[in-house]
Amino acid sequence: MLRARGAVEQEPTDYLDAIFLALRRFGDELAAARGWLGRIDTTASPTWRLSFLAKACAARDAAERHFGELCRRFAELGPRPPPPLDRVARRLGAMAADLAALGERVAAH
């Protein structure tokens, strides 16, 4: 699968690590899906386009799972996460919008 440069592949060791790992994986998968969609736009072969679309869908689904993990973890922290996690929590809406926009791009292909 196409991965963002320097993608982290490790298991979390504590709660904070799990949050930041899910955040990094979300970003990696979002970037990967965008990369696959970009390849669709530059490829004429229907076979390759279909293959790239499948990979984009898989990366988008993985991004959605990691976003769900983030939302669950932040919900467990309550309505006011401690600093600096409060800054990340404020970005969850924008992250959801990015994921929705990516879903629309995938559906358009």
* Residue 78 banded pLDDT, cuts 50, 70, 90: confident
Contacts of 6 (CB under 8 A, 6+ apart): none
What are the tens digits of pLDDT across the range 12-63? 568 889 999 999 999 999 999 999 999 998 999 999 999 999 999 999 999 9
What pLDDT score does 89 carry?
Answer: 92
The mean per-residue pLDDT over the stretch 80-93 comes to 91
Return the residue matching tokens 């899910």: 22
DSSP-derived secondary structure for 54-87:
HHHHHHHHHHHHHHHHHHHHHHHH-SSPPTTHHH
What are the tens digits of pLDDT across the range 64-73? 999 999 999 9
Return the residue matching tokens 């970005």: 91
Angle at alpha carbon of residue 73, lines to 56 and 30, rounded to 5°: 15
Q: In terms of C-beta density within 10 A (0-12 exposed, 13-18 middle, 19 or more buried), how is residue 102 classed?
A: buried
Among residues of the chain, what percentage have pLDDT more than 70? 88
* Residue 7 banded pLDDT, cuts 50, 70, 90: very low
Would you give the distance in Å from CA 21 to the centre of its chain? 11
- Check: CB of residue 19 under 8 Å from CB of residue 85: yes
What pLDDT score does 11 carry?
Answer: 55
